[in-house]
Amino acid sequence: MNFKPVNLIKFIFPKQKIFWLLLLFCGLNLFSVVPEAIARQPTPAELEAIRKETKLVFQNFLQLWQEERYFELYKYGKKQSKEQIAIEEFATRMVELNWVPVGLVVDKKPEISYRYRTLLYVNATIVFRHKSNFDLQFTKQQSFLLLKEGGKWRFDLLQMIRSPFYSPPN
């Protein structure tokens, strides 16, 4: 057996290239499956449960806002909002607003715009009235961003102190 080093190198390198290409191919296939498992879309039953839960939370939130119970309303705030505004300042700013919601437009139910498991928008047409002059009313389509934090749906408090003239971008 007489092997020349040149022939041995030509014999080994093509197999190594094939081995590395196969390993790379298998690795890419393995990692391409992982995001699909994480980003699984919810089933229709899960979507319906999310809709029911958020509608209930939104109704409670809107009722507290109508009754001007701002300290309780603050509890519905998301973490980032609570870091940006203290409870006393939030309540003061809400009291200073001239408009409060009377309720939802009767023939239009709130719509849930699902984005992710922990992020969605509630789109509702709300009737606002002036605090001092009860005859002044108007309706406005508003979008409320809801984030799920700590197992509960939370609102943006900064949007509230700017309402009814501010809505988050979709």
Looking at residue 165, its pLDDT comes to 67
Place of tokens 């409870």: 87
The predicted-structure confidence for 20-30, as pLDDT tens digits, reads as follows 666 666 666 66
- Strands of the chain, DSSP E: 99-104, 111-116, 119-130, 137-149, 152-155
Query: What is the structure's pLDDT at 1?
Result: 57
- Mean pLDDT for 79-86 is 94
As a whole number, mean pLDDT of residues 142-157 equals 91
Provide the CATH number for the domain formed by 44-160 in this structure.
3.10.450.100
* Confidence (pTM): 0.69
Domain borders along the chain are 1-40, 44-160
Determine whether 55 is exposed, middle or buried from the number of CB atoms within 10 Å of its CB (0-12, 13-18, 19+): middle
Among the ranges 26-30, 89-93, 139-143, 161-165, which has the highest mean pLDDT value? 89-93
